[in-house]
Amino acid sequence: MALANPAVTADAVRARLERGQLDIAGAVFKALISLAILLSLLVIGVLLYDVVHDGWSVLADRPVDFLSGTLRSQAGEAGVFQGLRGTFWIGVFTVVLAFPIGIGAAVYLEEYAPDTRFTRFIAINIRNLAGVPSVVYGILGFAIFVKTLALFPEWLPFLGGRTFTGGRTTMAAGITLAVLVLPLVIITASEAVRAVPDSIREAGFGVGATRWEVVRSHVLPYAAPGIITGTILSLARALGEAAPLILVGAVTGRLGQSGGLLDPAQLHERFTAMPIIITDWSGQPGAFQTENAPAAILVLLVVVLFANTAAILLRNRYEKKR
Amino acid sequence: MRFPPSRLVRLTAMLMALSLFAAACGDDEEDDPVAAEDTETEESSDSGASEDPSGSGATGGELSGEINVSGSSTVQPISVRVAELFEEVEPDVVVNVDGPGTGDGFELFCNGETDISDASRPIDEEEVAACEESGIEFIELKVAFDGISVLTNPANDAVTCLTFEDLYALVGPEAEGVENWSDAQALATELGSTTELPDAPLEIVGPGEESGTYDSFIEIVFGDIAEAQLEAGAITEDQEETTRPDYQSSPDDNTIIQGIEGSDTSLGWVGFAFAEEAGEGVKELEVDGGEGCVAPTAETIADGSYPISRPLFIYVSTTAMEENPAVAAYVEYYLGEGISAVE
């Protein structure tokens, strides 16, 4: 049949359609979109060069010291460990709280909720929430997780007399950022679930599967790569936010307590985080601004890249399964 | 987040002890809004009391507990440095230092959330009222002096020293529209300055209204002149505590430094620490506040001979000092060995 050699056929068809004329609009379009990608790469390249150029000396001279050091008054002694610890726990809260709740809400909205004016109203509002400036979430976090939840010390007896969040703590910050990225998770997960072809659902229903079975073994696996892409974006956003943390009460100058990375006791302690350290150091005189801040930016970049790589590997696995 | 049983028992015991303690304290307890802080401070005062409540500082290594310091970002590095040195004496005391700004610091302080508030200006009446309302009593301690450096580009040879009058004529509210140093000559001379201003384009870079450095600069440099000019009718009341509106302002001191480096005949002002760190890229001008030209150095700022300097304070909650002996020890260390070791 004619499909035996599709390359030749396609060329032949194009040659006849173009009748020997140049496709000028097509060429211009291609040049423009190439320019767009080049510009994006150029901006990233310049930023990376600048940061590596300024920050490399610190990471090369005292890599272990810088990564394991605490906030200090002397730029040459200061390190980012406490920031890494805070950022790590914020990531944990985002993964543990925002992802299940967000994906659950998305599946409910797409698969279970009836298409009424009310559900559409909710869907629109979730979209609006995703556009709310992060500072507003900071104020929310301060009002609810730092203040209100600190008013009921007897709330949960197993907290041993501490309040739920304990005030301006790692926990309050983690919950605040989980709430911040929740709309983003819901929206991206909704899109992924909506992109699952109806034929797949109908095939499931056709062989007598219940809605739960269809969602579990057909819709979710099919939507998983899309959902994970959304969670990558959300996690990266949570790790990079500084503004809400300032309001929740991140510490900039000195953090006295010195627990390990995984020590859960610090959930109830004051905290700091990488973006906060970067912001603070950038505003200080001398080597803090010229060397330490770029080095801290590099560290945060690597952390985010690690998180993203893990998520991308996970996504690829699901894509293959599909 | 389940604690192992032994920990739970310990916490319960601690709670019971606390409730007894609270009962014993009676009505002293009424005004502590933050319950979380409550537990912590009392825990520390408990352990402190069981050892030696009067043995502050000198003995060393006896105290424990948490001290929260917040306030001015200018004072932050000093408090951090002192905390680092203090840690060597009292390793079990946890000191947190934060620098959201003097105003924000007082808000926390008068709310009972911090023990010590760093400040680059004295506490104002509203803040005193807020503290009184929540029953926070405090003491004010002067810990250091901070200078504000007036800067230009090293290429600007024609200028080495400026008087307050020159600065008013160049940057003050009446200078709006002045684009050349020499355009300010008439006003500066009229105000009594004898400096000769060069014929060169004037590019001003400085902090904006949100900055404490802006407020201090206006108050110290323009204060008397602006008052006289107001009486003479040259400016309106609204203009008294302002600069000219038409200059390049930035909240970031490093950006200001870059602006000054970027133009040959620039003029600007930043905190002394930033000017010193900037090195060769900028020239620090001498300033004449009526008693001759003085260059800003650590010494001239500390002894008050450099005219644009301001005191830096810490405010200590006496309530916190009574409850937590570590606070008193830290403050004592701050004023004694701490401050002399810092600079």
The rounded distance, in Å, linking the Cα atoms of B219 and B241 is: 7
Which residue in A has a C-alpha nearest to residue B33's C-alpha?
Answer: A151
Per-residue confidence (pLDDT) for residue B42, from 0 to 100: 35
The rounded distance, in Å, linking the Cα atoms of A122 and A113 is: 11
The rounded distance, in Å, linking the Cα atoms of B240 and B249 is: 19
Q: 């994906």: which residue's tokens?
A: A103
Task: Give the mean pLDDT of chain A.
Answer: 88
Asked if B80 lies within 8 A of A72 by C-beta distance, the reply is yes
Of A254, A270, A280, the CB nearest to B83: A254
Q: Residues A170, A83: contact at Cβ < 8 Å?
A: no
The rounded distance, in Å, linking the Cα atoms of A310 and B293 is: 63
The pLDDT of B156-167, averaged and rounded, is 88
Asked if A253 lies within 8 A of B98 by C-beta distance, the reply is yes
Picking from B78, B300, B254, B56, the residue whose alpha carbon sits closest to that of residue B151 is B254
The contacts found for A20-23 with CB under 8 angstroms, 24 or more apart, are: none
Asked if B34 lies within 8 A of A255 by C-beta distance, the reply is no
The answer, yes or no, to whether residue B267 has pLDDT greater than 70, is: yes
What are the pLDDT digits (tens) for A71-105? 988 888 899 999 999 999 999 999 999 999 999 99
Of A166, A253, A257, the CB nearest to B99: A253
pLDDT bin (cut points 50, 70, 90) of residue A8 is low
Q: What is the CA radius of gyration of chain A?
A: 25
Q: Which stretch, A78-87, A145-154, B28-37, B328-337, has highest mean pLDDT?
A: A78-87
The answer, yes or no, to whether residue A13 has pLDDT greater than 80, is: no
> Alpha carbon of B179 to those of A193, B221, B248, B250: distances in Å?
62, 21, 13, 19
HEC readout, A61-72: HCHHHHHHCCCC
Q: Is residue B16 part of a domain?
A: no
The rounded distance, in Å, linking the Cα atoms of A135 and A147 is: 17
Q: Is residue B1 part of a domain?
A: no
Contacts of B149 (CB under 8 A, 6+ apart): B269, B270, B271, B272, B274, B275, B276, B284, B285, B296, B308
pLDDT bin (cut points 50, 70, 90) of residue B138 is very high
Q: Which pTM value belongs to this model? A: 0.77
Which residue in B254, B274, B334 has the most chain A C-beta atoms within 10 A of its own C-beta, making it the best mutation to test that interface? Answer: B254
DSSP state of B123: P
What are the pLDDT digits (tens) for B95-118? 999 888 888 899 999 988 899 999
Q: b/e per residue, A232-248, with b = 16+ CB within 10 A?
A: bebbbbbbbbbbbbbbb
The pLDDT of A21-46, averaged and rounded, is 92
Residue B136 φ then ψ, to 5°: -95, 120
Q: Residues B137, B109: contact at Cβ < 8 Å?
A: no
**DSSP β-bridge partners for residue B269:** B150
Compute how many other C-beta atoms are within 10 angstroms of the C-beta atom of residue A231. Answer: 25
The alpha-carbon gap from B249 to the nearest alpha carbon of chain A, in Å, equals 15
Contacts of A255 in chain B (CB under 8 A): 96
Query: By three-state DSSP, how is residue B146 classified?
Result: strand
Q: Residues A143, A176: contact at Cβ < 8 Å?
A: no
Q: Which carries the bigger pLDDT value, residue A127 or residue A321?
A: A127
Which residue in A has a C-alpha nearest to residue B118's C-alpha?
Answer: A253
Which residue in A70, A71, A72, A73 has the most chain B C-beta atoms within 10 A of its own C-beta, making it the best mutation to test that interface? Answer: A73
DSSP state of A289: I
Contacts of A262 in chain B (CB under 8 A): none
Token pair of A296 as six digits: 């801290």
pLDDT bin (cut points 50, 70, 90) of residue B39 is very low
Asked if A160 lies within 8 A of B15 by C-beta distance, the reply is yes
The tally of domains found in chain B comes to 1
What are the pLDDT digits (tens) for A243-281? 999 999 899 889 887 778 888 888 888 899 999 999 989
Residue A104 φ then ψ, to 5°: -60, -45
Q: Is residue B262 part of a domain?
A: yes
Asked if A71 lies within 8 A of B274 by C-beta distance, the reply is no
Q: Is residue B142 part of a domain?
A: no
Structural domains of chain A in order of their starting residue, each with its CATH number: 53-321 (1.10.3720.10)
Of the listed ranges A6-10, A104-108, A187-191, B171-175, the one predicted with least confidence: A6-10
Contacts of A161 in chain B (CB under 8 A): 11, 14-15, 18, 39
| Residue B171: domain span | 147-309
pLDDT bin (cut points 50, 70, 90) of residue B187 is confident
Picking from B215, B226, B214, the residue whose alpha carbon sits closest to that of residue B174 is B226
Contacts of A171 in chain B (CB under 8 A): none
| A220-240 helix and A81-93 helix, angle to the nearest 10 degrees | 150
The rounded distance, in Å, linking the Cα atoms of B287 and B166 is: 10
The pLDDT of B223-252, averaged and rounded, is 84
The pLDDT of A25-54, averaged and rounded, is 94
Of the listed ranges B10-24, B79-93, B180-194, the one predicted with least confidence: B10-24
pLDDT bin (cut points 50, 70, 90) of residue A190 is very high
Q: Residues B86, B338: contact at Cβ < 8 Å?
A: yes
CA end-to-end span of chain A, whole Å? Answer: 31
What are the pLDDT digits (tens) for B86-98? 988 888 898 999 8
Looking at this predicted complex, what is its ipTM? 0.78
- Position B310: which residue type? R
Asked if A251 lies within 8 A of B79 by C-beta distance, the reply is no
The alpha-carbon gap from A147 to the nearest alpha carbon of chain B, in Å, equals 8
The pLDDT of B178-196, averaged and rounded, is 85
The pLDDT of B149-156, averaged and rounded, is 90
Contacts of A72 in chain B (CB under 8 A): 80, 84
The answer, yes or no, to whether residue B22 has pLDDT greater than 50, is: no
The rounded distance, in Å, linking the Cα atoms of B68 and B37 is: 10
The answer, yes or no, to whether residue B55 has pLDDT greater than 80, is: no
Per-residue confidence (pLDDT) for residue A150, from 0 to 100: 67
Which residue in A has a C-alpha nearest to residue B13's C-alpha?
Answer: A160
The answer, yes or no, to whether residue A300 has pLDDT greater than 60, is: yes
Residue B261 belongs to a domain with what CATH number? Answer: 3.40.190.10
Rounded percentage of chain B residues whose pLDDT exceeds 90: 14
> Alpha carbon of B63 to those of A276, B313, B321: distances in Å?
30, 25, 13
The alpha-carbon gap from A308 to the nearest alpha carbon of chain B, in Å, equals 28
Q: Which stretch, A144-148, A218-222, B36-40, has highest mean pLDDT?
A: A218-222
The answer, yes or no, to whether residue B19 has pLDDT greater than 60, is: no
Q: Residues A238, A90: contact at Cβ < 8 Å?
A: yes
Per-residue confidence (pLDDT) for residue A215, from 0 to 100: 94
The rounded distance, in Å, linking the Cα atoms of A78 and A70 is: 6
Q: Which carries the bigger pLDDT value, residue B39 or residue B4?
A: B4
Sequence-ordered strand ranges (E) for chain B: 65-71, 93-97, 116-119, 138-152, 161-163, 203-206, 248-249, 266-271, 283-284, 286-288, 293-294, 309-317
Per-residue confidence (pLDDT) for residue B51, from 0 to 100: 38
